Amino acid sequence: MASNVLGNGEFSFDNKRRTGLPKIQTQKTDDENVVCHDDSATPVKAQTLDELHSLQKKKSAPTTPIKSPHVFGVAVSEEERQKQQLQSISASLASLTRETGPKVVKGDPARQAETPKVQHPVHHHPTPTLNVSDSGLKFTHILYNLSPAELYEQAIKYEKGSFITSSGALATLSGAKTGRSPRDKRVVRDETTEDDLWWGKGSPNIEMDEQTFLINRERAVDYLCSLEKVFVNDQFLNWDPNNRIKVRIVSARAYHSLFMHNMCIRPTPEELEDFGTPDFTIYNAGQFPCNRYTHYMTSSTSIDINLARREMVILGTQYAGEMKKGLFGVMHYLMPKRNILSLHSGCNMGKEGDVALFFGLSGTGKTTLSTDHNRYLIGDDEHCWSEHGVSNIEGGCYAKCIDLSREKEPDIWNAIKFGTVLENVVFEDHTREVDYTDKSVTENTRAAYPIEYIPNAKIPCVGPHPKNVILLACDAFGVLPPVSKLNLAQTMYHFISGYTALVAGTEDGIKEPTATFSACFGAAFIMLHPTKYAAMLAEKMQKHGATGWLVNTGWSGGSYGSGSRIKLAYTRKIIDAIHSGALLNAEYKKTEVFGLEIPTALEGVPSEILDPANTWPDKKAHKDTLLKLGGLFRKNFEVFTNYKIGTDGNLTKEILAAGPTF
């Protein structure tokens, strides 16, 4: 319908023109309002479409100096600082046999404007021309601390299996490995680590020599430098400012870069400018296998730690958790040296400042239970306990997503949005709705998100000394009580035992639960003998008056197959009662075999489930299973009977007596 704009801004229908098309106005009028523009905004400042697209992206801040840059107190120019940064990255990627770093240039090779001509390459040491192989002639483009949006684009463009889900998360595939490979972990044994580290039976530290490490390092570096581009993340570990560690992660995949962006502490632009040399570097060449002819290699996967060189090399696995847990191992070495206890635990804090630690092996509930809508989240997995209190090592969380539901775990559900890495999940092809029940790729589906995606995260992630130390065990045998109060010796006994019982693959019908004992609830990550960490924990718990608890998040009413997993809602009630202090003064009775103090009643939880003996229909089966588990505990503890824990001889005796008696 033809319309006309009146001088006063009102519309009226022009009846006179009804019969034909409106006349096109070709003459400029004085009154701008009369002209019908297709939009009222000022026209774009571009002459061509290319130019228009170039306007979409503005130059980001980090490349401009925030304050006058200094190196060792001497003012340096911005140009000089950039040069030093490239030099440092080049040195990180240096081949050791050719004694040279690659020619590195910042930026995406796909972007024409950032070809090597512009920024001149930085040679760490000039390579003699005769010695140059083809690889020495090429540039390695460095995608340095990209933002999540940029990493999304890189992943979607270049990495098969990368998709945006309906909630905005980045779905990725981690490849053939969908979990960690503890048997492929190697630690360099040299004069220092020989004496410092825990070696031999039960230890996660499988030795390798320096030479073999260098062979794998060279393999990883050559692989990375053969690529057109690599990702470099410079980030921090540990929210305790006095014990912060600078880490550099060199990787080939946007998936890995975004994962570590989320999981480590993200530097501010100012902190990044002054980053300098990293304290520890990861070379993640996970797509490339190790050479099985190499000494110490027993598969095509190898995760190698060299504490003297402050380096870690990853070959033959793309599972991202390997990087975060690898660094955790490093912290388990560095922190105790500073008299700081490193802990495989979740941590949260109540409104009154009461801190709780949640220890437990994978899948026992650290992430789920520390993410509590009524409390502040300090962290879900890795912490330090120093003389000033607790601090999270990481900047993000890594939640299991199998059977995740919005109702039961709303905070984790809502954290799966833009920026979050969703590993190995299955989604609907068109809507990109994730089916969290689908185990087609793996049961170990995961979401990695920055900690601030949890609404009540405590930033900075630090807190006072813990009041409660909760040991989580997912007991698929169904004989451990849902909650027990522990004395110090019992806490130490269960901490050193590090028990859980998971159920191996469900494909061939119902299987027996398998007991896992993992010292300090994290034997795969500890570097020193378990008693070193146990002694520190005992000392700290004693000094700060913390109470120990054992919580079974596993089976009730029978073992796996006949009983069922304790409802998450009940476990939450139990945890609430620990936090509030209500459980501290409850009425208790002692269980047989394990001698655990169990409450007789607890608000919100049916009393009959508090004692497993009540819930098993078959009393004999219960007793047999209880004795069986007691035997497994006793057998596991044999290796620790010869060790002294701390300086207190009495405590050692008490700990040994705190195990099952039958």
Ligand X SMILES: Nc1ncnc2c1ncn2[C@@H]1O[C@H](COP(=O)(O)OP(=O)(O)O)[C@@H](O)[C@H]1O
Place of tokens 């701390």: 646
- Using only the alpha carbons of the chain, give its radius of gyration: 29
Task: Name the active-site residue from 172, 367, 559, 652.
Answer: 367
**Least distance in Å: CB of 372 to Mn ion?**
14
Residue 566 interacts, among ligand X, ligand PEP, Mn ion, none and using kind-specific CB cut-offs from 5 to 8 Å, with: ligand X
Q: Does 332 bind ligand PEP (CB under 6 A)?
A: no
Per-residue tokens: 53: 């697209």
Q: Does 311 bind ligand PEP (CB under 6 A)?
A: no
Task: Name the active-site residue from 325, 458, 465, 579.
Answer: 325
Q: Which is nearer to ligand X, 405 or 542 (CB)?
A: 405
Residue 390 phi, psi (nearest 5): -105, 150
Residue 184 interacts, among ligand X, Ca ion, Mn ion, none and using kind-specific CB cut-offs from 5 to 8 Å, with: none
Q: Does 321 bind ligand PEP (CB under 6 A)?
A: yes
Q: Does 289 bind Ca ion (CB under 5 A)?
A: no
Residue 465 interacts, among ligand X, Mn ion, ligand PEP, none and using kind-specific CB cut-offs from 5 to 8 Å, with: none
Residue 180 interacts, among Mn ion, ligand PEP, Ca ion, none and using kind-specific CB cut-offs from 5 to 8 Å, with: ligand PEP
Residue 482 interacts, among ligand X, Ca ion, Mn ion, none and using kind-specific CB cut-offs from 5 to 8 Å, with: none
For ligand PEP (CB under 6 A), the number of binding residues is: 9
Q: Give catalytic status of residue 366 as yes or no.
A: yes
Q: Give catalytic status of residue 446 as yes or no.
A: yes
Q: Does 409 bind ligand PEP (CB under 6 A)?
A: no
**Least distance in Å: CB of 411 to ligand X?**
12
Task: Name the active-site residue from 266, 446, 529, 622.
Answer: 446
Answer for the pair 306, 189: CB distance below 8 angstroms, yes or no: no
Q: Which is nearer to ligand X, 92 or 553 (CB)?
A: 553
Q: Give catalytic status of residue 180 as yes or no.
A: yes
Contacts with 99 (C-beta within 8 Å, 6 or more apart), sequence order? 125
Give pairs for 21-24: CB < 8 Å, separation 24+: none
**Least distance in Å: CB of 88 to ligand PEP?**
29
Place of tokens 């009775």: 589
Q: Does 367 bind Mn ion (CB under 5 A)?
A: yes
> Using CA atoms, how far apart are residues 437 and 337, in angstroms rounded to an integer?
43
Burial (0-12, 13-18, 19+ Cβ within 10 Å), 524 = middle
What residue number has its CB nearest to ligand PEP?
362
Tell me the CA distances in angstroms from 640 to 201, 327, 369, 450, 555, one per residue in order: 11, 27, 30, 38, 28
The amino acid that residue 383 corresponds to is: H
Q: Which is nearer to ligand PEP, 330 or 583 (CB)?
A: 330
Query: What does the H/E/C string look like for 339-396?
Result: CCEEEEEEEEECCCCCEEEEECCCCCCHHHHHCCCCCEEEECCEEEEECCEEEECCCE
Q: Which is nearer to Mn ion, 146 or 237 (CB)?
A: 237
**Least distance in Å: CB of 523 to Mn ion?**
16
3-state percent helix, strand, coil for the chain, nearest multiple of 5: 30, 25, 45
| Contact string (CB under 5 A) for Ca ion, positions 3-42, x = contact | ----------------------------------------
Q: Does 325 bind ligand PEP (CB under 6 A)?
A: yes
Per-residue tokens: 358: 């949640």
**Tally of CB atoms within 10 A around 189:** 16
Which 183-242 positions form the footprint of Ca ion (CB under 5 A)? none
Contacts with 502 (C-beta within 8 Å, 6 or more apart), sequence order? 363, 474, 476, 513, 514, 516
Write out the H or E segment, with its range, that includes residue 136: helix 134-137
Region from 279-287, 360-368, 461-469, 478-486 binding ligand PEP, contact rule CB under 6 A: 360-368
Q: Give catalytic status of residue 367 as yes or no.
A: yes
Task: Name the active-site residue from 180, 219, 256, 532.
Answer: 180
The amino acid that residue 410 corresponds to is: P
Q: Which is nearer to ligand PEP, 318 or 362 (CB)?
A: 362
Answer for the pair 286, 315: CB distance below 8 angstroms, yes or no: yes
Residue 69 interacts, among Mn ion, ligand PEP, Ca ion, none and using kind-specific CB cut-offs from 5 to 8 Å, with: Ca ion
Per-residue tokens: 269: 């632009």
Q: Does 175 bind Ca ion (CB under 5 A)?
A: no
- Burial annotation 303-315 (CB, 10 A radius, 16+ → b, else e): bbbbbebbbbbbb
Q: Give catalytic status of residue 344 as yes or no.
A: yes
Region from 33-41, 64-72, 219-227, 648-656 binding Ca ion, contact rule CB under 5 A: 64-72
| Contact string (CB under 5 A) for Ca ion, positions 232-271, x = contact | ----------------------------------------
List active site positions. Answer: 180, 325, 344, 362, 366-367, 381, 446
Contact residues toward Mn ion (CB under 5 A) are 366-367, 381
